[in-house]
Amino acid sequence: MTAHKIPLALASAALTAGMSLATLAEPMPSTVATLVELGYPAPQEGELVHIPPTMADLEKADLHPETKEVIRRGYDLFTNTQQLRGENVFNEMNCSSCHLGEGRQPFSAPIWPAAVTLPSYRGKNDHVNNLEERIAGCFAYSMNGVPPEYGSDDMLALSAYHQWLAKGAPMYPDQPIYGRGFPAPERPEKLSYQRGEELYQAQCAICHSEDGSGLYQDGEYVFPAPWGDGSNNWGAGIVRTETAAGFIKNNMPLGQPLSLSDQQAWDIAYYMTRQERPQDPRYTGDVEETLEKFGPTFHKNSSYGQVREHDSHVLGDHANWGEKGDEVTPWNVGQSRFEDLKEK
Amino acid sequence: MMTSKYIAGGLGLLLGLGLVDGKAEAQNGDVERGETAAGTCVACHQADGSGMNVPGGESWPRLAGLDAGYIAKQLHDFKADRRHNASMQPFANMLDDQQIADVAAYYSEMPVTAAQGGGDADEALLARGEQLALRGDWDEYIVSCKSCHGPRNEGAGDTFPGIASQHAGYIKSQLHAWQAGERDNDPQNLMGAIAKRMGDDDIRAVSAWLANQSVAPEQGESQ
């Protein structure tokens, strides 16, 4: 909307939302120019740059009114996932707590790539996942909850919103995707829990609170909890220090991306991921055994099962499931697929 | 002040920080004493704390229903010239720490009043204002107001003031002040960074939309 003073001759030309470009033969879209101006890397030659359509674009789109209704429902669930609290969500997070900009934002794990790269193999559960199963994973781990059933209205609506954001992007793209995931800066030689704590208290606590509980005010979500019972459990992607560092570096403090140094982002991530949170739903009853089973595919990048330096606490060594208690278990965890293929 | 180093709980560190920006002092205000101390405030901020939208001039913000901690911090900041305003500074200077706490408590207890200045905005401007307030414009890296000011922009904690039902003229002047670097007493430049990405139309839009919002009276005590 605002006219930007961008020192790029390319910037003025616009790419229609919902379109993709595979090479930089075409001009840089203005939204990407905004990112570059903020210090994000420019797209590399050969990267897939896709500008997801907005909800305003949906109004103008040539889709059946009911299709639009369902996409809107998906958007609403994505940005206010707390409406499923106690049913599918058992912490104080929304999908958009981590996937900023309503799931559209590059370098903030935009969600449209899931719609064009799945079904495909995921190491985390060692089989081929489709979009619904991928979303179900977020519910089991990041929302510390239970996914809506495959094919249910809520699952369909969330899938539809993902696919809407992917509109115009090529299916199974060969090119690497610009701004995918939470790309982490290079890991510094040494990480410091103490520096991380000082930085967290000085730069993060004003919103996320000094004890990591975020802010839930008058029964409503305001700021997400980076740890504790209101946060994601030990199986969520962001418990991996590298992923947390990538999230922080690219997105925090809110509105000031890339303002922390690489060392600062990693130190805060290290501190944050060495706090307690609800148990991993893959927990076998023994932290060592769980680590042995899921270390190679996941926990090798987290602090799970490690001894915290200053108080000798073994991280994840507890049976605290958070708000969902031990009665509620996510049905999707440990579900095998394509056993017949493996036998051959 | 900042001699406290590594403390397991981190609370000591926090306290140290709080004192630096004058926040930890906003406690134990007395509403009745506040009413007396607020005698000089009513000329502009009115007896009901509603302030006034002054088109073409300096609008006086609504104080009614704002968080006590937020009001106290602003008064301390005026006194210490961390927030710069020629009209406010002499009045803030007349208040001691206790009076600041009392005045803050007094206004925080008042019901939120209606705001002016958003009445003549057209539909398109209000739609843009609503977008910025509730969803932001991430293509310009403008995050939504509500992501810090709370779900209905009625404020979050003692740091992020309620801006729904605040006078358009006041919001507009503050955003411009942040843009120009004339206001910078927000923690960590959280507001300044966003304001600097907003165009004049964005500021007009969001000011008008917020002024048009009404805040439902609270059930019982806000504390």
Tell me the pLDDT tens digit for each residue of A241-262.
Answer: 999 999 999 999 999 999 999 9
Looking at this protein, which amino acid is placed at residue A312?
S
- Joined together, the tokens standing for residue B95 give 């208040």
Using the 3D structure, point to which of B108, B139, B170 is the last residue of a domain: B108
Is residue A74 within 8 A of residue A103, CB to CB? The reply is no
Are both B129 and B206 inside the same structural domain?
yes
Burial of A342 (0-12, 13-18, 19+ CB in 10 A): exposed
Task: Decide which of 1.20.1250.20, 1.10.760.10, 1.10.150.120, 1.10.10.10 is the CATH code for A1-181.
Answer: 1.10.760.10
Residues B96 and B149 in one domain: no
Among A84-88, A266-270, B9-13, the range scoring the smallest mean pLDDT is: B9-13
Confidence of residue A329 (pLDDT cuts 50, 70, 90): very high
Q: Which residue has the tokens 């890991």?
A: A187
Give CA–CA dist A131/A136, Å, rounded.
9
Q: Residues of A with CB below 8 A from B17's CB?
A: 201-202
Phi, psi of B121 (to 5 degrees): -75, 140
> Is A81 within 8 Å of A143 (Cβ atoms)?
yes
Residue B49 lies in a domain: yes
Dihedral sign of CA atoms A59, A60, A61, A64 in order: positive
Suggest the residue from B139, B184, B197 to mutate for an interface test with chain A (most A CBs closer than 10 A). Answer: B139
- The predicted model gives A81-110 an average pLDDT of 98
Instruction: Give the pLDDT confidence score for residue A154 in this predicted structure.
Output: 98
Provide Rg for chain A, Cα atoms: 20
Asked if A3 and B199 come within 8 Å (Cβ–Cβ), the reply is yes
CB within 8 Å of chain B, chain A residues 293-322: 310-311
- Please give the mean pLDDT across all residues of chain A: 92
Model pLDDT for residues A122-175, shown as the tens digit of each residue? 999 999 999 999 999 999 999 999 999 999 999 999 999 999 999 999 999 999
Q: Which of A69, A78, A182 is nearest to A135 (CA)?
A: A78
DSSP string, A158-213: HHHHHHHHTTTPPSS-SSPBTT-S-PPPPPPS---HHHHHHHHHHHTHHHH-TTS-
- Model confidence over A267-303: pLDDT tens digits? 999 999 999 999 999 999 999 999 999 999 999 999 9
* Residue that is written with structure tokens 């969330």 in the block: A158
A215 touches chain B (CB under 8 A): yes
* CA–CA distance, A35 with A297 (Å, rounded to integer): 33
B64 and B98 assigned to the same domain: yes
The average confidence (pLDDT) of chain B is 89
Task: Find the CATH number of the domain harbouring B159.
Answer: 1.10.760.10
- Looking at residue A27, its pLDDT comes to 74
B223: confidence class by pLDDT, cuts 50, 70, 90: very low
B42 and B102 co-located in one domain:
yes
Confidence of residue A196 (pLDDT cuts 50, 70, 90): very high
pLDDT for the residue numbered B220: 47
Q: Average pLDDT of B154-180? A: 97
User: Does B186 have pLDDT greater than 60?
Assistant: yes
Distinct helix (H) and strand (E) counts, chain A: 12, 6
Domain residue limits, chain A: 1-181, 193-324
Band of residue A344 on the pLDDT scale cut at 50, 70, 90: low
For every residue of chain B, DSSP letters joined together read -TT----TTSHHHHHHHHHHTT-TT-----HHHHHHHGGGTHHHH-TTS--B--TTS-PBPP-TT--HHHHHHHHHHHHTTSB--TTHHHHHHT--HHHHHHHHHHHHTSPPPP--S-TT--HHHHHHHHHHHHT-BGGGTB--THHHH-TTSS-BTTTB---TT--HHHHHHHHHHHHTTSB--SGGGHHHHHHTT--HHHHHHHHHHHHT---PPPSS---
CB contact under 8 Å between B188 and A30, yes or no, is: no
Domain boundary among B83, B108, B133: B108
What's the confidence (pLDDT) of residue A194? 97
pLDDT tops 90 at residue B122: yes
pTM of the prediction?
0.90
Categorize the per-residue pLDDT at B22 as very low, low, confident or very high, splitting at 50, 70 and 90.
very low
CATH topology of domain A193-324: Cytochrome Bc1 Complex; Chain D, domain 2 (1.10.760)
Q: What percent of chain B has pLDDT over 70?
A: 85
Continuous segment of H or E residues that includes residue A267:
helix A262-272
Residue B107 in this model has a pLDDT that exceeds 90: yes
Question: Chains A and B: how many Cβ contacts under 8 Å?
Answer: 87
Per the structure, the complete domain to which residue B206 belongs is given by 123-211
Q: How many structural domains compose chain B?
A: 2
pLDDT of residue B16: 40
